[in-house]
């Protein structure tokens, strides 16, 4: 495929729209690695306005009397199989230099009037060249919150130029956001949708309805976008005077607040830029966010950070959790805001049109339904420790049956490696318990095996507890969080050591016939460790965040 990319933005390579066009081409190249691409930046070309002299029709047929870079454009159109028209929306139409380019295509037509099949308007002129089979794609961004109802003039123009229904289009609102590094996470999601459209086009010379639907999704809801857009001007609303750029940045961050995350608890976040000696508060409430001067309200969470560190985090240059673990900034007060930061301020949650997972009759989302749950892993071990001492061989058989049924019970959930290990190990221990005189050996081996599984998991990328609780902290992304990982390694080590100790003291108590005492000790130790776990998982992150 031969592709001519006509970049009609006066900004040239700095064009926001060009980011979309490049993503589309990346998608094409993934499928058609032999595709040839030429790019024509109109901002770098000398293309004078058409004089309307019609010399290209009657004096020098097919050739303009002006000698400039337009000839390169005509040659490119004749060469290409696909023309991509890339441009921003200027005053509800195309930029002036692109309109010049379109006007200067006159030499490509013959002067005769002709009725054309499917034509737009009252007539047309036949092409001087065979343009059959050539395809067109329009890619454009605009500064409104949506592209809908803002491209009427553009589509009318290209209905005349290309023929109604003879071209594809990708029109995207909120185009200025593609130049904002702090919003890269969300804009990258959209660019991936454009990339997918490119893949489809390379395969079928068309964009599917599913892809078009995703491309029509808003980057952000209208109220969020318009707040960010208003703040981006850096001008106070009341006075019209220029405001502190740090305050502007803080307002834009406040605009990203997702009020759907409100949990009946109003929060007051105070951000202190320690190197600048400046601070503001963001009140997060039911109806949205408000920026106030520092000290206006009692802060529930305080972030103390150098300005450049917070900017780097916002731009995605460094991870916020990694910077916190290194002591690059500190947090005091209610730490739950930091734990669920992406729910309150994250692009993925604020983005409109995001696909919601369907709900079942019990109200659970399909996505959450697929997440693993530790209860299945624990069910195998608890059944073994309860049923075998009480029921002997019958208890062992019951445990084997439970181990066989648990994978079926969890058919709609993802099973972790620890689930599978547990089902297998407990089944083997149950078989051992069926052997004459081996019940106590099987029980002790169970305590030891359970402890070793916890302890050895600390050496893996995903400690046992992290394999389950990571879904409360954005899934696999939590595994990149050093605070989360260290806390989970400590807890996994704690549970592992506990059960190895249980195996040791049980080895003395069981043969001595102190079964009841053993069970009391084991259960008490487990309950206390559970209480410690609940406390530690809240205390440890707060301690690190406070720089202690």
CATH number of the domain bearing residue 324: 3.30.1050.10
- CA nearest to 257, candidates 281, 274, 233: 281
The enclosing domain of 88 has a CATH number of 3.40.50.360
Distance CA 280, CA 273 (A): 9
Question: Cα 104 to chain center, whole Å?
Answer: 43
* Residue 318: inside a domain: yes
Q: Determine the angle formed by the axes of helices 245-255 and 307-314, rounding to 10 degrees.
A: 40
Regarding whether 16 and 155 lie in a shared domain, the answer is yes
Indicate if 186 and 43 belong to the same structural domain. Answer: yes
Of 445, 444, 443, 481, which is closest to residue 463 (Cα–Cα)? 481
Indicate if 341 and 404 belong to the same structural domain.
Answer: no
| SS3 state at 288 | strand
The range of the structural domain enclosing residue 310 comes to 226-350
**pLDDT per residue as tens, the chain (548 positions):** 999 999 999 999 999 999 999 999 999 999 999 999 999 999 999 999 999 999 998 999 989 999 999 999 999 999 999 999 999 999 999 999 999 999 999 998 888 887 766 666 667 788 888 888 899 999 999 999 899 999 999 999 998 888 888 899 999 999 988 888 778 888 899 999 999 999 999 999 999 999 999 999 998 888 888 888 888 888 887 777 888 999 989 988 898 888 888 888 999 999 999 999 999 999 999 988 999 999 999 999 999 999 999 999 888 888 888 999 999 999 999 998 888 888 888 644 444 444 444 333 333 343 445 789 999 999 999 999 999 988 889 999 999 999 999 999 988 888 999 999 999 999 999 999 999 889 999 999 999 999 999 999 999 999 999 999 998 888 888 899 999 999 999 999 999 999 999 999 999 998 888 988 998 999 999 999 999 999 999 999 988 888 77
Task: Name the domain count of the chain.
Answer: 3
How deeply is 531 buried, as exposed, middle or buried, from its count of CB atoms within 10 A (0-12, 13-18, 19+)? exposed
- Nearest Cα neighbor of 444 from 433, 456, 431 is 433
With helix as H, strand as E and coil as C, how does 89-147 read? CECCECCHHHHHHHHCCHHHECCCCECCCCCCCCCECCECCCCCCCEEEEEEECCCCCC
With contact defined as beta carbons under 8 Å apart, do 16 and 89 qualify? no
Q: 82 near 3, Cβ under 8 Å? A: yes
- Residue 24 CA to residue 378 CA, distance in Å, equals 48
Q: Which of the listed residues 350, 381, 406 is the one where a domain comes to its end? A: 350
Provide the strand spans (E) within 212-309.
267-273, 278-285, 288-293, 301-305
45 and 113, same structural domain? yes
Q: Are residues 284 and 233 in the same domain?
A: yes
Question: Is 173 inside a domain boundary?
Answer: yes
CA-CA distance, 214 to 193, in Å (whole number)? 7
Which tokens is 225 given?
Answer: 């976008």
Does the residue 359 lie in any domain?
A: no
Domain membership flag for residue 361: no
Domain match, 42 and 118 both? yes
Residue 394 CB partners (closer than 8 Å, separation 6+): 387
Alpha helices in 32-126 (DSSP H): 55-58, 70-79, 96-103
Q: What pLDDT shows up at residue 356? A: 41
Domain membership flag for residue 476: yes
Decide which of 175, 200, 219 is a domain's last residue: 219
- Is residue 338 within 8 A of residue 538, CB to CB? The reply is no
Considering the domain architecture, whether residues 53 and 142 belong to the same structural domain is answered as yes
Residue 123 lies in a domain: yes
Q: Which of 176, 199, 219 is at the close of a domain?
A: 219
Q: Looking at residue 52, what is its pLDDT?
A: 92
User: Edge-to-edge, what's the strand order for the sheet holding 288-293?
Assistant: 288-293, 278-285, 267-273, 301-305, 330-333
* 198 and 247 co-located in one domain: no
User: Is the CB of residue 458 less than 8 Å from the CB of residue 492?
Assistant: yes
Helix (H, G, I), strand (E, B) or coil at 322: helix
Question: Which phi and psi angles does 488 have, rounded to 5°?
Answer: -75, -35
357 occurs within a structural domain: no
What are the strands of the beta sheet with 135-141, ordered from one edge? 36-41, 2-7, 82-88, 135-141, 167-172
Residues 211 and 316 reside in one and the same domain: no
User: Could you tell me if 20 and 170 are in contact, meaning their C-beta atoms sit under 8 angstroms apart?
Assistant: yes
Q: Tell whether 257 and 124 lie within a shared domain.
A: no
Q: 58 and 124 in one domain?
A: yes
Q: What are phi and psi of 140, to 5 degrees?
A: -150, 150
Q: Nearest 5°: CA angle at 104, between 67 and 115?
A: 140
**Distance between CA atoms of 531 and 545, rounded to whole angstroms?**
22
Domain presence at residue 447: yes
Q: What residues does 304 pair with on adjacent strands?
A: 272, 330
- Position 233 scores a pLDDT of 81
**Whole-angstrom Cα distance, residue 430 to residue 395?**
8
The reply to whether 339 and 376 lie within a common domain is: no
Collapsed DSSP state (helix, strand, coil) of residue 171: strand
Are 328 and 195 in contact by the 8 Å Cβ rule? The answer is no
Helices (H) and strands (E) in the chain, counts: 22, 10
Give the per-residue pLDDT at 305: 95
Residue 256's pLDDT is 87
For 69, the token pair is 């870079």
The reported pLDDT for the residue numbered 118 is: 61
């Amino acid at each position: 495929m031969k592709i001519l990319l006509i970049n009609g933005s006066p900004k040239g390579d700095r064009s926001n729209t060009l980011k979309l066009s490049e993503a589309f081409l990346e998608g094409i190249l993934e499928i058609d690695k032999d595709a040839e691409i030429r790019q024509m930046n109109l901002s770098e070309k000398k293309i004078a306005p058409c004089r309307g002299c019609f010399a290209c029709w009657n004096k020098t047929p097919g050739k303009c009397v002006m000698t400039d870079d337009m000839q390169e454009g005509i040659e490119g159109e004749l060469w290409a199989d696909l023309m991509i028209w890339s441009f921003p929306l200027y005053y509800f139409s195309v930029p002036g230099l692109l309109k010049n380019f379109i006007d200067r295509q006159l030499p490509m037509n013959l002067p005769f009037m002709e009725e054309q099949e499917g034509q737009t308007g009252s007539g047309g002129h036949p092409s001087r060249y065979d343009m059959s089979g050539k395809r067109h794609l329009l890619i454009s961004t605009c500064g409104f919150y949506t592209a809908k109802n803002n491209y009427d003039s553009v589509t009318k123009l290209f209905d005349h130029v290309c023929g109604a229904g003879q071209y594809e289009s990708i029109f995207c609102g909120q185009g200025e956001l593609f130049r904002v590094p702090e919003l890269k996470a969300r804009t990258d999601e959209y660019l991936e949708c454009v990339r997918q459209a490119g893949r489809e086009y390379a395969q079928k010379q068309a964009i599917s309805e599913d892809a078009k639907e995703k491309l029509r999704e808003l980057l952000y809801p209208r109220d969020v976008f318009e707040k960010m857009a208003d703040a981006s001007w850096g001008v106070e609303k009341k006075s019209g005077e220029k405001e502190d750029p740090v305050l502007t940045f803080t307002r834009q961050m406040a605009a990203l607040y997702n009020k759907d995350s409100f949990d009946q608890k109003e929060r007051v976040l105070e951000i202190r830029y320690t190197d600048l000696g400046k601070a503001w508060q963001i009140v997060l409430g039911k109806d949205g966010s408000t920026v106030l001067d520092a000290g206006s309200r009692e802060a529930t969470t305080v972030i103390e950070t150098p300005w450049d560190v917070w900017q780097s985090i916002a731009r995605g240059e460094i991870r916020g959790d990694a910077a916190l673990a290194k002591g690059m900034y500190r947090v005091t007060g209610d730490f739950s805001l930091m734990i669920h930061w992406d729910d309150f301020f994250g692009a993925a949650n604020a983005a409109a049109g995001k696909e919601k997972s369907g709900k079942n009759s019990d109200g659970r989302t399909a996505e959450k339904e697929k997440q693993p749950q530790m209860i299945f892993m624990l069910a195998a071990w608890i059944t073994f420790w309860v049923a075998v001492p009480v029921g002997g061989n019958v208890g062992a058989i019951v445990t084997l049956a439970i181990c066989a049924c648990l994978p079926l019970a969890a058919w709609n959930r993802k099973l972790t490696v620890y689930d599978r290990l547990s089902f297998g190990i407990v089944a083997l221990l149950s078989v051992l318990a069926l052997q004459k005189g081996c019940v106590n050996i099987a029980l002790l081996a169970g305590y030891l095996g359970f402890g070793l599984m916890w302890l050895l998991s600390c050496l893996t990328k995903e400690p046992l507890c992290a394999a389950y609780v990571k879904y409360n902290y954005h899934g696999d992304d939590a595994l990149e969080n050093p605070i989360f990982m260290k806390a989970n390694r400590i807890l996994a080590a704690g549970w592992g050591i506990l059960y190895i100790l249980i195996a040791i003291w049980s080895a003395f108590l069981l043969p001595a016939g102190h079964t009841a005492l053993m069970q009391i000790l084991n259960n008490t130790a487990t309950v206390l460790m559970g209480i410690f776990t609940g406390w530690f998982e809240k205390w440890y992150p707060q301690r690190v965040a406070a720089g202690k």
